[in-house]
Amino acid sequence: MRKALVISLIFTCLCCGAFAQKKYTDSLSAVLSHTEKPIERFRIITKILGNLTIAQAGNIDSARCVELLQIAQQLKSDSLFETSYSYIGSYFSFTKGDNVTGLEYYFKALALADKMKDKRKADSLDFDISIIYFTLQNNEEAVKYVRRGGENLPDKSYPMYNSLLALYQRGLAIYYLLTHHPDSTLRYGQAMYATGVKVNNVLHRFNALTLIAAAYVQLGAKEKAETYFNKAIAISDSVKLIVVQLRFYNNYIPFLLNNNSLILQKFNLFWS
């Protein structure tokens, strides 16, 4: 009963953010229906797919992916192929749950990103691949791609440098959390938080606070863990990625269930 109440509360909170994202997706689809030029259709579809990832926790539309690939074939563009393969990889991994096929397409995209010497896309793919390996509980293979991404970070003057740095710091923090090295998790989680503050990115700060809280749970520091979970909750309304919210609750639910007084407190706050 206690677990069911906690999950019910969380589900209610998660549903609130998806509606606005769906309206934006619908407006893009309306524009797409009146667009004929292939490259413009490609750009609109990537916006739709990116927004679906936010609104539906990774539910990628396979028909849209097929059209992206067809346009890439029509225009014979490595850059468009790379983007197409990346979204197809996301479709198989996060929508279908077929991580093997997902990795196959991610690796195709990564090969093209390397060929084009596009460090931003290569790094982003490295970090996406690492998340799949974490999901597969292959932590050593995951951290290999985290470190590859770290070694190939673009120059600090590059506009996306800090965002990619935050993904690198996140990957190492996750690795050390999963391999039960909470002190190292704290080190990289705190570094990620600092990066998030520097670029004013709420998503990076939210992820970092979650990892820091989880590290304190492993250290048995209940009060510090609660403090950082509460800090994450305080900015959670600004986090639209449902999959990221779910990762938070994967850490937060067990913490609540092990602390009965906190469950009662959270429900009193929610219903007051």
Q: Which 3 state secondary structure label does DSSP give 105?
A: helix
Place 21 in a pLDDT band, splitting at 50, 70 and 90: low
Shared-domain flag, residues 163 and 131: no
Shared-domain flag, residues 141 and 21: yes
Shared-domain flag, residues 166 and 254: yes
Place 268 in a pLDDT band, splitting at 50, 70 and 90: low
**For residues 112 and 18, which has the higher predicted lDDT (pLDDT)?**
112
DSSP state of 238: G
Shared-domain flag, residues 82 and 116: yes
| Least confidently predicted of 83-97, 234-248, 258-272 | 258-272
User: Token pair of 205, please?
Assistant: 């700060």
The per-residue pLDDT for 51 is 75
Domain count, the chain: 2
Shared-domain flag, residues 182 and 234: yes
The per-residue pLDDT for 56 is 46
Angle subtended by helix axes 161-178 and 202-218, to nearest 10: 20
Contact 217, 225 (CB under 8 A): yes
Q: Is residue 184 part of a domain?
A: yes
Shared-domain flag, residues 134 and 170: no
Instruction: Give the CATH number of the domain where residue 69 resides.
Output: 1.25.40.10
Angstrom distance (rounded) from CA 189 to CA 166 = 9
Q: Which 3 state secondary structure label does DSSP give 155?
A: coil
Q: Which of 152, 176, 192 is the last residue of a domain?
A: 152
The segment with the largest mean pLDDT, out of 119-133, 178-192, 252-266, is 178-192
Q: Is residue 208 part of a domain?
A: yes
pLDDT above 70 for 262 = no
Query: For the residues 143-160, what does the mean pLDDT come to?
Result: 93
**For residues 24 and 173, which has the higher predicted lDDT (pLDDT)?**
173
Q: What share of the chain is helix, strand, coil (3-state, %, to 5)?
A: 80, 0, 20
Shared-domain flag, residues 188 and 231: yes
The pTM is what?
0.82
Shared-domain flag, residues 178 and 55: no
How many other C-beta atoms are found inside a 10 Å radius of the C-beta of residue 108?
18
Shared-domain flag, residues 108 and 165: no
**Above pLDDT 90, what percent of the chain?**
66
Query: For the residues 195-207, what does the mean pLDDT come to?
Result: 95
Domain that holds residue 171: 158-272
> Is residue 166 within a helix (H) or strand (E), and if so which, with residue range?
helix 161-178
The per-residue pLDDT for 201 is 92
User: Token pair of 4, please?
Assistant: 């069911």
The per-residue pLDDT for 208 is 98
Q: Is residue 5 part of a domain?
A: no
Shared-domain flag, residues 232 and 172: yes
